[in-house]
Amino acid sequence: MTTTPVNVTVTGAAGQIGYGLLFRIASGQLLGPDVPLRLRLLEIPPALKAAEGTAMELDDCAFGLLRGIDITDDPRVAFDGTNIALLVGARPRTAGMERGDLLSANGGIFKPQGEAINAVAADDVRVLVVGNPANTNALIAASHAPDVPRDRFTAMMRLDHNRAISQLAKKTGAAVGDIRRMTVWGNHSASQYPDLVHAEVGGENAAELVGDQAWIENEFIPTVAKRGAAIIEARGASSAASAGSAAIDHVHDWVNGTPEGDWVSVGMVSDGSYGVPEGLIAGFPAMSKNGAWQIVQGLEIDEFSRARIDASVAELVGERDAVKELGLI
Active site residues: 188
Binding region for ligand LMR (CB under 6 A) out of 166-174, 231-239, 255-263, 316-324: 231-239
- Asked if residue 62 belongs to a known ligand binding site, the reply is no
Q: Is 192 helix (H, G, I), strand (E, B) or coil?
A: coil
Which residues touch 234 (CB under 8 Å, ≥6 apart)?
A: none
Instruction: Rule CB under 6 A: say whether 187 interacts with ligand LMR.
Output: no
Instruction: Sort residue 271 into left (φ over 0), alpha (ψ -120 to 50) or beta.
Output: alpha
- Asked if residue 113 belongs to a known ligand binding site, the reply is yes
Strand partners, 7: 38
Contact 188/156 with Cβ under 8 angstroms?
Answer: yes
Computed from CA positions of residues 194, 197, 202, 203, in that sequence, does the dihedral angle turn out positive or negative?
A: negative
In the set 8, 10, 30, 42, which binds ligand NAD (CB under 6 A)? 42
Instruction: Count the site residues for ligand NAD by CB under 6 A.
Output: 27
Q: Nearer to ligand LMR by C-beta: 267 or 285? A: 267
Backbone angles phi, psi at 55, to 5 degrees: -65, -35
In the set 12, 18, 89, 228, which binds ligand LMR (CB under 6 A)? 228
Strand partners, 179: 201
The DSSP 8-state label assigned to residue 261 in this structure reads T
- Asked if residue 14 belongs to a known ligand binding site, the reply is yes
Which residues touch 184 (CB under 8 Å, ≥6 apart)?
A: 157, 160, 161, 164, 192, 193, 194, 195, 224, 265, 283
The closest residue (CB) to ligand LMR is 228
Instruction: Rule CB under 6 A: say whether 286 interacts with ligand NAD.
Output: no
Residues 115-144 that bind ligand LMR (CB under 6 A): 132
- Asked if residue 15 belongs to a known ligand binding site, the reply is yes
Instruction: Rule CB under 6 A: say whether 248 interacts with ligand NAD.
Output: no
In the set 109, 197, 207, 276, which binds ligand NAD (CB under 6 A)? 109
Rounded CA-CA distance 219/258 in Å is: 29
Rounded CA-CA distance 105/92 in Å is: 9
The contact set with ligand NAD (CB under 6 A) reads 11-12, 14-18, 42-44, 47, 88-90, 92, 109, 130-132, 134, 156, 159, 188, 238-240, 243
The contact set with ligand LMR (CB under 6 A) reads 132, 159, 228, 231, 238-239
Q: Which residue positions form the known binding site for substrate?
A: 93, 99, 132, 163
